[in-house]
Each structure stands twice: as structure tokens, then as C-alpha cells.
Amino acid sequence: MTLIVGIGPVLYTLNNPDPQIQSLLFCKLRGYIFQICLMLSRWFVTFASIDRYASTSDKITLRNFAKPRITYRIIIIIIIFWSIVCSHRLIFYEIKGNLCGIINNMAAAFYHSVYVIIGGGIFPAMIMIMCAYIIRRNLAHKHQRRIRLSLGNYQRNPLDQQVLKILFVQIICYIIFTIPQLCNLVFNTISIMSPDRSNEHLAVESFLNFLAELMLYLFPVTSFYLYTLTSRTFRKELIKFFRSIFCRNDQITPAISAVTTNYPFRTYI
């Protein structure tokens, strides 16, 4: 959804007029839906980190948190929450020249910058870092406990290490891909204080927004590549999945035939 809403209009403008600067309604809806999808892609990974922390905890109450029933509820709550928080884009977005965004309203631009920097940058990164640290500690305690129970014959579980490795790589990629957008928001907030901005200044803002959005597209699509490169178990399961699709043989069940013995009838598949 993030890629469709974000890149779709850009591809359309290659041979057609830009709908973002032609239609105010499209400008508002595209910015609103894109922001929601972007926040969901961040916070779903953040709550996945919390889920991993809960599943590795020694406490039963926390392990009970990592259940599909609770996950479905959290997904619905996250979608509703960001649909409300991002609604200011429907109100304050406007078109000026070749730029679609919050241009003349300083208060709305400040609110937009603060909630994206905090809610889309600082909080998710802090939560993922804290969960990664706690998960590492829980896995270390689990490793020590298994060593004591096995009287020294226990070897470290490679799956636990792969999960931890994937989480660390996700956090690093998230920070790298998010920093340009946060810097761009600070720049836009400062530039709004200049009421008489020239067309050249607006063109520079539009170009920087494009580059910052391009970096944002990378994070929602990196999960597959991160899992494939860092997890041997994920690669094995992926190969097994494709083999089950392309190498599946049709099963033939012969009809039951009578056998002139005292044994009961049998079906061979």
C-alpha cells in the first residue's frame, strides 16, 4: 500500500500531468493515505518487536500477550489511531505552484513535524532498541538455564540467535532510512517561517521531499531481503515453500480392490 500510494502517482506523471498539483482532493487524499500506510509499516514492526520480547519472557503473563487474538486487536487499534492522528492532512494540505503540502499554516506544519519526528522516528526506534536489548537478555537467561538443566551438554539455539540478528538489522535499517525524512521535516518547518518564498525555493523543497520519500520507500520493502540475508531458517522455509508450489505432484488414489485373503481391504496412496 505504501508503494502503490507513494510511487503510483509518480509513475503516472511520467507521461501525464501531475494529479497532485491538478486536483486539491487528490493532493489531500494521497498525502493522508500515504502517511497512514507509512506509519503502519513502522508501528507494525515496532509491535512485532514487542511481540518477540513477550514471547521470550520468563513471565507467563507476558507470554500470553504474544497471541494471535491480541495481535488482531492491536492491529485494529493501530489502524484507527493513525487514521485519526493523520487526519490533519485532509484539512491543511494545499497546492502552491508545483508543491502539494502544508505551505502557509505554520501551526499545522509544526504539529506535522513534531508528530512525525516523535511518533514516526524517535518512539519506534527507542522501543525497538529497548526490545532488542531485553530480548538479548532473555535469550541469555534462557541459554544459561538450558545449560544448567542439560548438565553442560546443551548447545546454543541457532534460531534464537537468528531472531536477534534480524531484529538488530531491522533497527539499523530503520534508523538509516528514517533520518533523511526527519531532517527534511525540520528544514520544511523552518522554511515555512519565511512567508515570501520564491518559486525556486519551492522547487528545492519539492526535490528534497522527493528524495526523503524515496528513502522512506526502502524500509517497508526491506523486510524480505533482511530475513533472506540474515536468517538461514527463513531461507530454508522459503525454498521449502516454493518447492511445495512448483514441485507438487498430483496424488492418485487407486480404487479399492478385493483381495482373496483374510486381511482387510487396504487403500494405497
Q: What is the mean pLDDT of residues 107-116?
A: 82
Burial of residue 105, with CB atoms counted within 10 A of its CB: 0-12 exposed, 13-18 middle, 19 or more buried: middle
Q: How far apart, in whole angstroms, are the C-alpha atoms of residue 144 and residue 153?
A: 12
Q: How confident is the model over 60-98, as pLDDT tens digits?
A: 878 888 788 888 999 999 999 999 988 888 888 888 777
Q: 51 to each of 45, 67, 102, 127, 163, how far by Cα in Å?
A: 10, 9, 36, 12, 12
Q: What is the mean pLDDT of residues 220-233?
A: 79
pLDDT of residue 82: 93
pLDDT of residue 218: 78
pLDDT of residue 15: 85
The more confident residue out of 58 and 248 is 58
Find how far residue 16's CA is from the centre of its chain: 31
One-letter amino acid for residue 149 of the chain: L
pLDDT of residue 194: 66
Q: How far apart, in whole angstroms, are the C-alpha atoms of residue 138 and residue 154?
A: 17
Q: What torsion, rounded to 10 degrees, do the Cα atoms 209, 215, 220, 226 define?
A: 180
The more confident residue out of 235 and 208 is 235
Q: 127 to each of 49, 149, 242, how far by Cα in Å?
A: 8, 32, 34
Residue (of 154, 134, 159, 131) closest to 144 by Cα position: 154
Query: CB-side exposure of 178: number of CA atoms within 13 Å?
Result: 21
Helix (H, G, I), strand (E, B) or coil at 257: coil
Statement: residue 176 has pLDDT above 60:
yes
Statement: residue 259 has pLDDT above 50:
no
Contact 201, 191 (CB under 8 A): yes
The more confident residue out of 213 and 17 is 17
Q: How many C-beta atoms lie closer than 10 Å to residue 258's C-beta?
A: 6
Residue (of 28, 35, 25, 17) closest to 213 by Cα position: 35
One-letter amino acid for residue 150 of the chain: S
Taking the alpha carbons at both ends of the chain, their separation in whole angstroms is 44
Statement: residue 157 has pLDDT above 70:
no
| Structural domains in the chain plus CATH codes | 2-246 (1.20.1070.10)
Which range among 18-27, 153-162, 251-260 has the greatest average pLDDT?
A: 18-27
Q: How far apart, in whole angstroms, are the C-alpha atoms of residue 8 and residue 13?
A: 9
Statement: residue 18 has pLDDT above 80:
yes
pLDDT of residue 267: 36
pLDDT of residue 73: 92
Q: How far apart, in whole angstroms, are the C-alpha atoms of residue 134 and residue 54?
A: 10
Residue position matching grid coordinates 526523503: 212
One-letter amino acid for residue 173 of the chain: C
